[in-house]
Amino acid sequence: MTGLPMVVPEAGLPERVTIYEVGPRDGLQNEQALVPTEVKASFVRQLLAAGLPIVEATSFVHPKWVPQLADAAELMTGLSADLGDRARELPVLVPNDRGLDRALDLGLRHIAVFASATETFAAKNLNRTLDSQFAMFEPTVARALAAGLDVRGYVSMCFGDPWEGPVPVEQVVTVGKRLLDLGCQQLSLGDTIGVATAGHVKALIAGFGRAGVGVDRLALHFHDTYGQALTNVHAGLQAGVTTYDASAGGLGGCPYARSATGNLATEDLVWFLTGLGIEHGVDLQAVVDASTGMAAHLGRPSPSAVVRALAQSPA
Amino acid sequence: MTGLPMVVPEAGLPERVTIYEVGPRDGLQNEQALVPTEVKASFVRQLLAAGLPIVEATSFVHPKWVPQLADAAELMTGLSADLGDRARELPVLVPNDRGLDRALDLGLRHIAVFASATETFAAKNLNRTLDSQFAMFEPTVARALAAGLDVRGYVSMCFGDPWEGPVPVEQVVTVGKRLLDLGCQQLSLGDTIGVATAGHVKALIAGFGRAGVGVDRLALHFHDTYGQALTNVHAGLQAGVTTYDASAGGLGGCPYARSATGNLATEDLVWFLTGLGIEHGVDLQAVVDASTGMAAHLGRPSPSAVVRALAQSPA
């Protein structure tokens, strides 16, 4: 067997998908052992070389909250020295005005902000209410847009919340619409604890459609906690969504979720899309090499089925 | 969070699905360390008590080939003593006339035979050619039907083969049709090495449809080697198939596949179907308890995402 599936398209799916790689930021942010900046830079470069069109590189959050990403400016400076304008196109998470100042100082062009779809997670993660969280983003997003930057809006806990249980579709749509109204170009709808199933995904996309938000404004961000991430992508594809977040090697996970299983692995997504004949532009083996290197650095194997299968020698 | 997802149906899917549990047979057959018969019997009883409607209990194959299942008669005798007629309804794999004699002696009512969709696997697994394998089943199936038994026909390597690569749909349909022509009531189409993706699944089902074989005659048997098993179930549901094989805890795997990752875990399937609001009649936690007990006996954790998530304490 080669390392790729047979290609058999399914009728009605998009011809092309954009994979939004979040491994260096979302994947690493909860790692306790500090990863050296040069290892992170090498990881980002490998992911770009593998053909991933978008690699979210780091977060300009306060080091007190995410010590792992305290080297954000150093990382981006180093990448800019190597990659020039290509580095300045890499998106970074920016939680507030101070983070934006740092991104602007470095000449970065794409930022992302982070909202919660639930009251409890807004309180725990942002120390705000569901309503008052927007006051935190508003000036940041406005200044970023005025400076000509693109802004992505993450929405977390879009399907279930560990404290509140199932999250109503209309509540998620309300939060997402407010981010779009602030000027975000794209929403990333996150299943932070991995409880979404396929019908729920379609229902959420339909809810946004009823509110006038088309699939071209939506990205989907699934966690594989209950093994559902790829079926949720399948549902998203059938509903017409063409941007999917994934993390090389399945790095990452939510500290509030019940399991260590984290983000959808980029490799599992690439395998799936390849089998369906959907263009993605990514070299699977190159992503496996990148994530395997990072896994070796972190000292534990990837949870990705594709990585485990391809890492073994043929029968 | 409870241990179950929010229920949001997807339009157009079946209302009810039959889960065909293969853990005690397919799951255990390649385990090197012999599992005591009483542990197997307890496992079968737990799976039945969890609501699984069909539990394939063992195989009457020659002990030389599958030493783990050398206690088949002893297991079935013990289960009959406990469960009476319920035990005699449990299907068993029967490779030949001698196996059928043993099944008939015990008063069993459901058998399964095993065919290959490829020349190479027929040679390696059955020591036959693709064509001559049928001569092996024919008298066995005929005698079983004459005795009033139901016969299921497994077809392995229905999507890819580790030696031959992608397997043409028409080749699988030809093999499957021959099993049906012999009198098998149901085909179980196996993705033995886990390389199927969703479009391929729909293409295979459509191929059988063109040959006059409806979805009511088909079951799907996926392996999670590349993390694709549930998306393949999703595709199968959308094509109307209502019987899915699964193995409690994801026990098992093909010795010819590249990875240790084996059968689709019953728990992952139950979680998925529950989220879609599809009736299955199975108590998820009871299956987790059964497979966790077996995993402890075997000395390694389940690869199932759902088992791992539910085994952890809530946040």
Domains of chain B in sequence order: 18-312 (3.20.20.70)
Annotated active-site residue in A47, A52, A94, A254: A254
Q: How far apart are CA A46 and CA A53, in angstroms?
A: 12
Residues A158, A189 contacting (CB under 8 angstroms): yes
Nearest Cα to Cα of residue B121 among B84, B83, B167, B81: B167
Q: How far apart are CA A212 and CA A205, in angstroms?
A: 11
Active site residue A254: yes
Residue B1: is its pLDDT beyond 60? no
Looking at the complex, report in whole angstroms how far the Cα of residue B80 sits from the nearest Cα belonging to chain A.
36
Best of B234, B274, B288 to substitute, by most chain A Cβ atoms within 10 angstroms, is: B234
Q: Which residues of chain B neighbour A257 with C-beta distances below 8 Å? A: 309, 315
Looking at the complex, report in whole angstroms how far the Cα of residue A209 sits from the nearest Cα belonging to chain B.
16
Residue A264 or A262, more confident? A264
Instruction: Provide the chain A residues 240-269 that lie in CB contact (below 8 A) with chain B.
Output: 256-261, 265, 268
Q: How many residues does chain A have?
A: 315
B202 close to A (CB below 8 A): yes
Q: Which residues of chain B neighbour A291 with C-beta distances below 8 Å? A: none
Question: What residues contact B219, with CB distance under 8 A and at least 6 apart?
Answer: B20, B152, B186, B187, B188, B189, B241, B243, B244, B245
- Cα dihedral B288, B289, B294, B300, rounded to 10, equals 60
**Across B202-210, average pLDDT:** 98
Conformational region of residue B102, where left means phi above 0, alpha means psi within -120 to 50, and beta covers everything else: alpha
Q: How far apart are CA A292 and CA A123, in angstroms?
A: 36
Count of C-beta atoms within a 10 Å radius of residue B285: 13
Looking at the complex, report in whole angstroms how far the Cα of residue A187 sits from the nearest Cα belonging to chain B.
22
Helix (H, G, I), strand (E, B) or coil at A197: coil
Which band of pLDDT confidence, cut at 50, 70 and 90, is reported for residue B258? very low
Catalytic positions of B, please?
254
Residue A262: is its pLDDT beyond 90? no
**Across B71-96, average pLDDT:** 96
Looking at the complex, report in whole angstroms how far the Cα of residue A233 sits from the nearest Cα belonging to chain B.
9
Q: Which residues of chain A neighbour B199 with C-beta distances below 8 Å? A: 8-10, 275-277
A315 close to B (CB below 8 A): yes
Q: Which residues of chain A neighbour B198 with C-beta distances below 8 Å? A: 10, 234, 272, 275-276
A120 close to B (CB below 8 A): no
DSSP state of A191: E
pLDDT confidence of residue B312: 65
Pick the residue from chain A with its C-alpha nearest to B200: A8
Residues B225, B258 contacting (CB under 8 angstroms): yes
Tens of pLDDT, residue by residue over A113-160, are 999 999 999 999 888 999 999 998 899 999 999 999 999 999 999 999
| 8 Å CB contact of A2 and B165 | yes
Looking at the complex, report in whole angstroms how far the Cα of residue B264 sits from the nearest Cα belonging to chain A.
10
Count of C-beta atoms within a 10 Å radius of residue A272: 28
Distance, C-alpha B161 to centroid of its chain: 18
Q: Output the six-digit token pair for B199.
A: 């479009």
Residue B248 or A126, more confident? B248
Residue B74, judged by CB atoms within 10 A of its CB (0-12, 13-18, 19+), counts as middle
Q: Which residues of chain A neighbour B228 with C-beta distances below 8 Å? A: 5, 230, 271-272, 275
| 8 Å CB contact of A226 and B6 | no
Residues A17, A280 contacting (CB under 8 angstroms): yes
Size of interface A-B (CB pairs under 8 A): 185
Pick the residue from chain B with its C-alpha nearest to A266: B227
pLDDT confidence of residue A2: 53
A272 close to B (CB below 8 A): yes
Residue A249: is its pLDDT beyond 80? yes
Q: How far apart are CA B39 and CA B44, in angstroms?
A: 9
Looking at the complex, report in whole angstroms how far the Cα of residue A129 sits from the nearest Cα belonging to chain B.
21
| 8 Å CB contact of B195 and A6 | yes
Residues A88, A100 contacting (CB under 8 angstroms): no
pTM of the model: 0.95
Tens of pLDDT, residue by residue over B151-175, are 999 999 999 999 999 999 999 999 9
Query: In B258-280, which positions are buried (b, 16+ CB within 10 angstroms) versus exposed (e)?
Result: bbebbbbbbbbbbbbbbbbebeb
Q: How many residues does chain B have?
A: 315
Among A2, A194, A275, the residue with its CB nearest the CB of B200 is A275
Tens of pLDDT, residue by residue over A270-307, are 999 999 999 999 999 999 999 999 999 999 888 899 99
Q: Which residues of chain A neighbour B197 with C-beta distances below 8 Å? A: 5-6, 8, 271-272, 274-276
B301 close to A (CB below 8 A): no
Nearest Cα to Cα of residue A239 among A203, A275, A274: A203
What's chain A's average pLDDT? 93
Among A1, A162, A195, the residue with its CB nearest the CB of B6 is A195
Which band of pLDDT confidence, cut at 50, 70 and 90, is reported for residue B2? low
Tell me how far CA of residue A22 lies from CA of A78, A165, A245, A289, B218, in angstroms: 19, 26, 7, 16, 40
Looking at the complex, report in whole angstroms how far the Cα of residue A58 sits from the nearest Cα belonging to chain B.
26
Tell me how far CA of residue A305 lies from CA of A123, B26, B165, B229, B245, in angstroms: 35, 20, 19, 11, 20
Tell me how far CA of residue B33 lies from CA of B45, B96, B130, B298, in angstroms: 21, 26, 32, 8
Pick the residue from chain B with its C-alpha nearest to A3: B195
Q: Which residues of chain B neighbour A233 with C-beta distances below 8 Å? A: 231
| 8 Å CB contact of A195 and B258 | no
Residue A245: is its pLDDT beyond 80? yes
Question: What residues contact B114, with CB distance under 8 A and at least 6 apart?
Answer: B93, B95, B125, B126, B153, B154, B156
Instruction: Provide the chain A residues 134-173 that lie in CB contact (below 8 A) with chain B.
Output: 159-160, 162, 165-166
Tens of pLDDT, residue by residue over A207-238, are 999 999 999 999 999 999 999 999 999 999 99
Q: How far apart are CA A204 and CA B26, in angstroms?
A: 38
B33 close to A (CB below 8 A): no
In the numeric block, the tokens 């089902």 are attached to B205
